[in-house]
Structures are given as C-alpha cells and as structure tokens.
Amino acid sequence: MKERQTPLWYFANTLKWVLLITLLALALLPLLWLLVSSLRTNLELQVSPFGWPAKMQWANYANALAMASLPRLLLNSVVVAASAVVLNTLITSMAAFILSREHFKGRDIIYTIFTAGVLVPVISFMVPYFSLITRSGLYNTLFALIFVYSAVNIPVSIFLVTAFMKSIPKELEEAAIIDGCGFFKRFSKIILPLSRSGLVTAATFCFIFSWNEFVMAMLLTSSIESRTIQLGIKFFSSQFITDYSSMYAAVIITIIPSIGAYIFLHDKIIGGLTTGGVKG
C-alpha cells in the first residue's frame, strides 16, 4: 500500500506507535518491576522504588521458600490444578463426544444449557458453594477445590472441545464403523486421539484458571494442608512484613507456571479465544 506521507500521516503514525508501546509497557513493566524488586535488598527498596540491584539477591528466593511454607502450598496448587485439569477434560471430552458426534433430539438444547453456564457470575454462588462443600464434608480439603474448579470450567471446555470434535470429518468415523468399531472404540480410538489439540486448549484454560483462582480457595479452605499458593502469597504476607523483597520473590515463583504455560501454549490460547470468531 502506498500512503501519501503527509504531515498528518506522520502524526497519526507516531500516535499509533505511542499507543502500542504504552500498552506494551503497561503489560510488561509491572512484571519487570516485580522481578527486579525480588532481586534487590529491602534497604534498596526503601531508598527508591526503582533501580537495579547492586548485587543480585538470590537469597530472597531461598528466604521465600523457607519462610512462607511455600513448598507445601505449591504442592497443593500443583495437585489441585493437575487433578482439576484431568477431571475436567475427562468428563467434558466424554460429553463433547456425544454432543458433537451423536445425533438425537434435544442434543442442541443440552449443549446450550451447558455452555450458557459461562454467563453465570460464579461469585454470586459463594453462599451455596460454601454450604454444599461444608455439608458434604469436603470443607478444607483439596477435593473441594478440585471439584469446584473442574465444574466451573465445564462451559468453556464443552464449548472448545465440542467445536473441535465437530470439525473432524465424518468419513473417518464411518470408515471405523464399517471396520466394526463400536461406540466406545469410536470414542477412544478415533475421536479422542484426533481431538488432542482441542483437549490441550481446554486443559490450558482449565490449568490457568485453577492455578490462579483465589476467591473459592479463600472460601473453602482454612489451613495450610489444603490452601493453595494464591492464598499463601495473600495471607502469609504478614510473615514478610519487614521483608518485601522475599515476598516479591515468592510472587515471582507463583507466576512462573502461568507464564511457562503461556509461552509454550499461547497459540492454543489465542486460537481457543477465537474459536467462535472463526468457526461461528
């Protein structure tokens, strides 16, 4: 495209880059500030909020891991997020198989009900979730969070996996039926392996949600045995009252898994966000 390079064009072009770079800075600088602060001494932090550490304080990370019962909380988070991902993808892939590959009356209504769940504000369910979990004896257990996180992600996972399974050509399945594949084999040998990419997308969303979730974890757990890392950095910060740099180190440790998942799977995440836009 040949643009006439008038003064107005230069002005608009400059404005464009100012906007793009400002937003880039807003997305990245808070995280960079956190990273740099986690490597400074508390004295350095007190003197000025900015500045490079005179010497990298890796000891802050050792302090964080020692002081905040961080290893236990991290382990709980890993167990909760991994279990929620497995449970969620298992049950939603089964349902999505029926909702995408089987034909019967009422199928679309079931699909609409499940996916409409995404419109419901889950925070309005604080009272019933608390009541349900307490009465079922799951209060302050990892199971409480595993079940809630798997359930809350049902609408998104059903949407993503059903859309993916629908895109698999019919011919592949028909060939399998002629070869004598029954219902279960069609699911486990044909559709499930072909849906791997869709399942990874759903699992990524479920993992990031479960790893980062705070409100329900605060509501449904009360002791270190079942609390997750997000509560750790929120509530155990009293331990750090004079040691901000170690607290920032703890925060950095907790965001590494999310950033790691994003670096490796950002194509899947962006693809998942636009599934509707492309296929709808």
Q: Footprint of other proteins on residues 238-257 (CB under 8 A)?
A: 244, 247, 251, 254-255
For the chain, count helices (H), then strands (E).
16, 0
Name which of 55 and 267 has its Cβ closer to other proteins.
Answer: 267
Instruction: Name which of residues 162 to 201 contact other proteins (CB under 8 A).
Output: 163, 183-184, 187
Q: Does 18 bind other proteins (CB under 8 A)?
A: no
Please identify which residue in 10, 11, 24, 54 interacts with other proteins, judged by CB under 8 A. 24
Query: By C-alpha distance, which of 168, 154, 155, 156 is closest to 197?
Result: 168
Q: Which is nearer to other proteins, 58 or 214 (CB)?
A: 214
Q: Which of 102, 175, 189, 222 binds other proteins (CB under 8 A)?
A: 102
Does the footprint of other proteins cover residue 97 (CB under 8 A)?
yes
> Is the separation of the CB atoms in 201 and 271 below 8 Å?
yes
Q: Which stretch binds other proteins (CB under 8 A): 52-60, 118-126, 137-145, 192-200?
A: 118-126
For other proteins (CB under 8 A), the number of binding residues is 94
Give, as ranges, the residues between 204 and 243 that touch other proteins (CB under 8 A): 205, 208-209, 211-212, 214-215, 230, 233-234, 237
Token pair of 132, please?
């349900």
By the rule CB under 8 A, 48 interacts with other proteins = yes
Report the distance separating Cα 104 and Cα 56, nearest Å: 64
Both tokens of residue 179? Answer: 């070869």
Shortest gap between Cβ of 224 and other proteins (angstroms)?
Answer: 17
Q: Could you tell me which residues come within 8 angstroms of residue 31 by beta carbon, excluding any fewer than 6 positions away?
A: 255
Q: Are 148 and 81 in contact (CB under 8 A)?
A: no
Contact (Cβ atoms closer than 8 angstroms) between residue 275 and residue 198:
no
Q: Which of 205, 199, 241 is nearest to 91 (CA)?
A: 199
Residues 130-169 that bind other proteins (CB under 8 A): 130-132, 147-148, 150-152, 154-156, 158-160, 163
